Amino acid sequence: MEPRKRPGRTPAPAGRTSRPRQAEVARLAGVSQATVSLVLSPKPDGKGPVISEETRRRVLEAARSLGYVPDPAARRLAAARNNLLGVFSFTATFPTDVQHSYYPFLVGVEREAAALGYDLVLFTGSSTGGAGAAGPDALSRVRLADGCLFIGRHTPRPELKRLVEDGFPVVHLGRREELEGVAWVGADYVEATRDVVVRLAELGHRRIVLVREDDDAPASTDRQRGFLEGLEEAGLPSGPTTVFRSADPQRELTPERLRAWADEGVTAFVAEETDTGAAWRGLLSAVRAAGLDCPEDVSLALLGSPPADLASEPVPTGFDIPRPQLGAAAVRLLAALVAGEEASEPLVGCVFRPGPTTGPPRARP
Amino acid sequence: MEPRKRPGRTPAPAGRTSRPRQAEVARLAGVSQATVSLVLSPKPDGKGPVISEETRRRVLEAARSLGYVPDPAARRLAAARNNLLGVFSFTATFPTDVQHSYYPFLVGVEREAAALGYDLVLFTGSSTGGAGAAGPDALSRVRLADGCLFIGRHTPRPELKRLVEDGFPVVHLGRREELEGVAWVGADYVEATRDVVVRLAELGHRRIVLVREDDDAPASTDRQRGFLEGLEEAGLPSGPTTVFRSADPQRELTPERLRAWADEGVTAFVAEETDTGAAWRGLLSAVRAAGLDCPEDVSLALLGSPPADLASEPVPTGFDIPRPQLGAAAVRLLAALVAGEEASEPLVGCVFRPGPTTGPPRARP
DNA sequence: CGGCGTTGTTAATGCGTATTAACTAATGCG
DNA sequence: CGCATTAGTTAATACGCATTAACAACGCCG
């Protein structure tokens, strides 16, 4: 009787030479597929079956000559790891506008990932159109990797939460404490800002004003907290007027306002760094318009790095956000999670940056 | 007789509630796993089996209530594709120095990859240690993707050849005709340069000199060819002195040389763009040192974009290399190769950039 | 009423790798 | 020399989904 044809998927046409599989390596080496797997992915603790040196050599040689590379999907499906770390950003990772890009983070991310033996998969997140578009599937693609790094301000909470709940290793770059259970790394703005304030106090400044935008992002509130802690540490008073909060500093921060502060004895200003740099720009132009000299009349500090278009100006006193280090720290944390270890310290310190925009206050009569 | 225990992988402990599978959706909906698959991933052309509206509704409802999300690894394994495109560069993909990086290319690469539904795997040739380490295996790792994009000047020929011979889809960013069979996309320097020359001729220039470096990279020879073609098209003579080739233009391009040219009736110069911008720098400084005014005495054009540190200068006449578009074109070509289609037009046009450094020649007595 | 399409659903695969019980060959021991 | 032990390898799974031949339940027509 003719063997009945069984249903199922027809084998691939194999018209083109496809990538070699373990089966082909096995054939070439004269062993079984299982042996190939055992040779190519040895258990780290040497627990599994032992393969003779001779066989191992033959298999490795065969794999090399065929250019064998394991299929990441198959590896993952088989409940192992594939040495891939995902990077997902909700805006384009490589935007046309370099200013607002995550490029500096990626520098560190890539370096650290390579050092730890991972390759990076860039999940093309919210770029225009195509499969990368939004929808519940967009985030689920990251499960192809062993774990995923998320960068960006606007994180879709439910999907991320879902990933975390399923035990998928996730690290967010930037403080994200409101999302229960999401690991994150961030810059220690509190400490860095406090440091700046204390140094200003040490120069002799008694009255310092923080200029910030009207935004409750963690990065902003952290700076304010650090500012207030710094004042306290220096024994300076922190009245309601020490923080100037404005949705549009470039308009509302008038020269008159500035002169009034100066008359009240304010001798130093610190501005937060934001995407737009509005706080810093507003402060700079107001100082100029008021005819004040820096650092003779007032000292200015920037809590971050200046916008790129102000690169020709002298670099102000403040601190640098170690973005590459942040990226590297995030990768280390992610790798630890992937390995099933515990999370480590999430805060990365910023480094104080001396600059010509600060000095001792003018002696007042 | 006791059924003999068969070997094989023990099922996962399933200690934590794992994500629902199609099987669970099927159970809840009272259908088979196959039906779930058919409902959840319908063939776009409606070719496959038809599912009744009633069943479809039940399945969708069950999937929704369970929060079912397909496992990308399994999906990709079954589809025999993983929708990953590799990006390989022989210098670090993310160099700290943004200026000389491949960033502008990546802008286009990322956008186009997203539009086509691919994710990117980033490989770096120069990363220390780890997966990206050098050696013959380094290139082999790229096979993990469906195809790979190569960026960089120094491509290891044998390994690349090997990949191509194995039918692995490969695209090189930048002309690379000497490597048999390697697909590539590049900028059409010939056409763009000819255009610049013709426009200079239309302004009235009769004698034009090309300043280039002593390098036989395709990018250089293409510009020279376009230059000569432009002269011919404009009916201008092309003697041996129309091309000034120098290994160190900043030293060898003296003011005296420049004045000599001017005396001979040369009224316009074009310089090639290189990494260092040496040709352009040399030309600029020589013109200044010679006391010549631009564009009054001489017209200057740059065959590319000026170095970043000259950004404050007026942007010279010339053309822009559409790097993002180049990246996008490379991805499109690669995607076509992956899909088994034929290669398309590899040249991407450059756009003429008007500028203040050219004008009609001074009327000569 | 028997054969024949239609329509809807399922059983039975395959994808490539990891895992492990079981088997074989070689060695040691009494 | 017989049996237990060990080293080395393999067969037979599982992983979750997509695919497709086969099957079932219908009318419909002659």
Q: Measure in Å the smallest separation between the Cα of B225 and chain A Cα atoms.
A: 32
pLDDT recorded at residue A206: 92
| Tokens standing for residue A168 | 């998928």
Do the domain assignments include residue A314?
yes
Q: Which residue of B has its CA nearest to A34?
A: B8
Q: What's the token pair of residue A354?
A: 């001396």
Positions in chain C where some atom is under 7 Å from a protein CB: 7-23
Q: What is the dihedral of CA A235, A238, A241, A244, to 10 degrees?
A: 90
Stated in angstroms, how far is B49 CA from C4 C1'?
20
Q: Is nucleic acid strand D under 7 Å from A91's C-beta?
A: no
- The pLDDT tens digits for B259-275 are 999 888 899 999 999 87
Strand D positions with any atom < 7 Å from protein CB? 7-23
In whole angstroms, how far apart are CA A146 and each of A25, A158, A182, A334, B59? 25, 20, 16, 9, 30
Answer yes or no: is B357 within a domain: no
Residue B362 lies in a domain: no
The one-letter amino acid code at A80 reads: A
CA dist., res. B128 & res. B56, Å (int) = 52
Task: For residue B14, tell me if it sits in a domain.
Answer: no
Q: For residue range A107-158, what is the model confidence (pLDDT) as tens digits?
A: 899 889 988 888 899 987 654 333 434 455 678 889 899 999 998 766 777 8
What's the rounded Cα separation, in Å, for the pair A190 and A226? 4
B221 touches strand D (CB under 7 A): no
Nearest to B353 by CA among B317, B310, B311: B317
The answer, yes or no, to whether the previous bond of B295 is cis (omega within 30 of 0) is: yes
Distance in angstroms (rounded) separating the CA atoms of residues B125 and B93: 8
Any CB–CB contact under 8 A between B72 and chain A? yes
Q: Is residue B361 part of a domain?
A: no
**Number of independent structural domains in chain B:** 3
Residues of B (60-89) placing their beta carbon closer than 7 angstroms to any atom of strand D are 68, 70-71, 74-75, 77-79
Residues B104 and B193 in one domain: no
Distance CA A200, CA A211 (A): 15
Cα→Cα distances A364→A32, A139, A235, B152, Å = 87, 59, 20, 61
Q: Check residues 23 to 52 of chain B and report those whose beta carbon is under 7 Å from nucleic acid strand D.
A: 23, 33-34, 37-38, 40-41, 43, 48-49
- Scanning every strand, the nucleotide with its C1' closest to A71's CA turns out to be C16
* Chain A partners within 8 Å of B103 (Cβ): 94, 98, 103
Alpha-carbon span A269 to A212, nearest angstrom: 11
Three-state DSSP state, A104: helix
Q: Tell me whether residue B258 is in a domain.
A: yes
Chain A CB contacts of B168 below 8 Å: 19
Token pair 């500093």 is at which residue? A249
Q: Give the closest nucleotide to B32 (alpha carbon vs C1').
A: C10
- CA B22-B28-B34 angle, 5° bins: 40
Q: Are B211 and B263 contained in the same domain?
A: yes
Question: Please, what are the averages of pLDDT over each run of 10 residues along chain B (365 residues)?
Answer: 64 60 93 93 73 92 90 88 86 53 83 90 60 56 88 75 85 82 91 96 94 86 94 88 90 90 92 87 91 89 85 86 92 91 81 92 68
* Distance in angstroms: CA A23, C1' C17: 10
- Check which CATH number belongs to the domain holding B281 and give it: 3.40.50.2300
Contact A114 B120 (CB under 8 A): no
Three-class SS of B12-75: CCCCCCCCCCHHHHHHHHCCCHHHHHHHHCCCCCCCCCCCCHHHHHHHHHHHHHHCCCCCHHHH
Q: Is residue B143 part of a domain?
A: yes
Is residue B238 located within the same domain as residue B310?
yes
| Gap from A254 CA to chain B (nearest CA, Å) | 30
Contacts of A107 in chain B (CB under 8 A): 94-96
CB count within 10 Å of CB A19 equals: 18
pLDDT of residue A47: 67
Answer whether residue B316 is part of any domain.
yes
Shared domain check, B332 and B315: no
Domain range for A38: 22-70
- Distance from CA of residue A262 to its chain's centroid? 39
**In chain A, which stretches have pLDDT less than 70?**
1-5, 10-17, 44-48, 91-101, 125-137, 153-154, 312, 345, 364-365
Q: Are residues B210 and B155 in the same domain?
A: no
8 Å CB contact of A118 and B141 = no
A115 and A92 share one domain: yes
Determine whether the interchain pair B120/A124 forms a contact, defined as Cβ–Cβ distance below 8 Å: yes
B302 and B197 share a domain? yes
B69 CB neighbour count, 10 Å cutoff = 18
Same domain, A204 and A151: no
Q: How far is B18 from chain A (nearest CA, A)?
A: 7
